[in-house]
Chain A
Amino acid sequence: MTGKQPFEQLVSEHGPAVLRVCRAVLEPIDADDAWSETFLSALQAYPQLPADANVEAWLVTIAHRKAIDIIRRTSRAAVPVADVPAAAAVATSDSPDGRDLDLPRSLARLPERQRFAVTYHYLGGLPYAEVAAIIGGTADAVRRAAADGIANLRKAQGTVR
């Protein structure tokens, strides 16, 4: 028990990264719900978390599970098929509440595996092996998916310029 940080510190240190993760894989409204559900679940489980655990990886793993739950129970955010741009994701460019999105449309358009790999590795800060533990496959496969995702993002960015 000794040495465990007050939970508030987890929220301030990792809250922004977890929100970017949620927004990368969900529509904005659902992303905010996923963020709250993630931290509420984490708050409940926090006293039992081993003191030497990787807190960010733990939070991103919870966020991934919440995101999958939300994707499954909402039809409008149906899981996109690989290599087909998700229609729902394209629609997020103008959010109904007028809030600017933090992520460019191009990330939301990536195939799901690439989007998860880029999101959890680059936004969530997880090593490839940890990302593989969350989304399945090998660390090498995740590394390739992330590299492909980045290449696609660069391509998309290039077409905008």
Chain B
Amino acid sequence: MSMTTQDPDQPLADLLGPPPPDEVMAALHASLTAKAEAAGLLDIAYRTLDTPVGTLLLAATQAGLVRVAYEREGIDTALERLASKLSPRILNAPQRLDGAARQLEEYFAGHRQRFDLPLDLALASGFRRSVLSYLPAIGYGHTASYQSVAAAVNNPRAVRAVGTACATNPLPLVIPCHRVIRADGQMGAYLGGPEIKHQLLDMEASA
């Protein structure tokens, strides 16, 4: 302990005691999220999920799953964007993501080919949104080219815009932009990284 304890501007840890332990804070946090949910104040709930393609961020509004983000996209960055674009009323509250987490675990275990979840496409608008709405039509284990997706959404010249819609997909995996590849058969880019796109398509092909 310091010998200058008479200085009233010392941190005073010896007088005021230690900060509350983590488990006390965790219990209070859990009761806060439950009350916030009950009061309709929890605009965005999130959790992280460890998967074969790394840690994922899962976030849901009261309407449905609104964001899935890869670690490579930056989980904190994704949360800050949700705060500025949708609402800063964001809490780490896993319960709302139970269904999404379970279905993703089933998908990675090879037991699920189609996601059945309420989705909130609030982060996508216009043409990008119509592309994203179409993508679930590309079935598990299949691929489609950027050109064919452009044609399918009645805008055959908008190939680059389809690429942009995939690159900015707020719900990767659940909206299967990894199944959209280049017309020459090459993978093309992926927001989780090209190696993960490869991994997902291999997994689906062998299931």
Query: Is B52 located at the chain interface by the 8 A CB criterion?
Result: no
Asked whether A43 lies within 8 Å of B41 as measured between CB atoms, the reply is yes
Asked whether A40 lies within 8 Å of B8 as measured between CB atoms, the reply is no
Q: How far is the CB of B19 from chain A (nearest CB, A)?
A: 5
**Residues of A contacting B109 in the complex (Cβ-Cβ under 8 angstroms):** none
**Residues of B contacting A16 in the complex (Cβ-Cβ under 8 angstroms):** 19-20, 25
Q: Which of B11-60 contact A (CB under 8 A)?
A: 12, 14-20, 24-25, 28-29, 31-32, 35-36, 39, 41-42, 44, 46
Query: How many residues does chain B have at the interface if contact means C-beta atoms less than 8 Å apart?
Result: 35
Asked whether A6 lies within 8 Å of B17 as measured between CB atoms, the reply is no
Q: How far is the CB of B150 from chain A (nearest CB, A)?
A: 33
Q: How far is the CB of A35 from chain B (nearest CB, A)?
A: 6
Complex alpha-carbon distance, A56 and B89, angstroms: 17
Among A70-78, A88-96, A132-140, A146-154, the one that faces the other chain is: A146-154
Query: Is B79 located at the chain interface by the 8 A CB criterion?
Result: yes
Q: Which B residues have a C-beta under 8 Å from some C-beta of A?
A: 5-6, 8, 12, 14-20, 24-25, 28-29, 31-32, 35-36, 39, 41-42, 44, 46, 79-80, 82-84, 87-92
Complex alpha-carbon distance, A104 and B87, angstroms: 40
- Could you jot down 5 A-B contacts, CB within 8 Å? A6-B79, A11-B29, A16-B20, A16-B25, A46-B88
Query: Is A44 located at the chain interface by the 8 A CB criterion?
Result: yes
Complex alpha-carbon distance, A123 and B42, angstroms: 28
**Residues of A contacting B88 in the complex (Cβ-Cβ under 8 angstroms):** 1, 4-7, 46-47
Query: Is A85 located at the chain interface by the 8 A CB criterion?
Result: no
Q: Which of A98-151 contact B (CB under 8 A)?
A: 99, 101-104, 106-107, 118, 122-123, 146-147, 150-151
**Residues of A contacting B31 in the complex (Cβ-Cβ under 8 angstroms):** 36
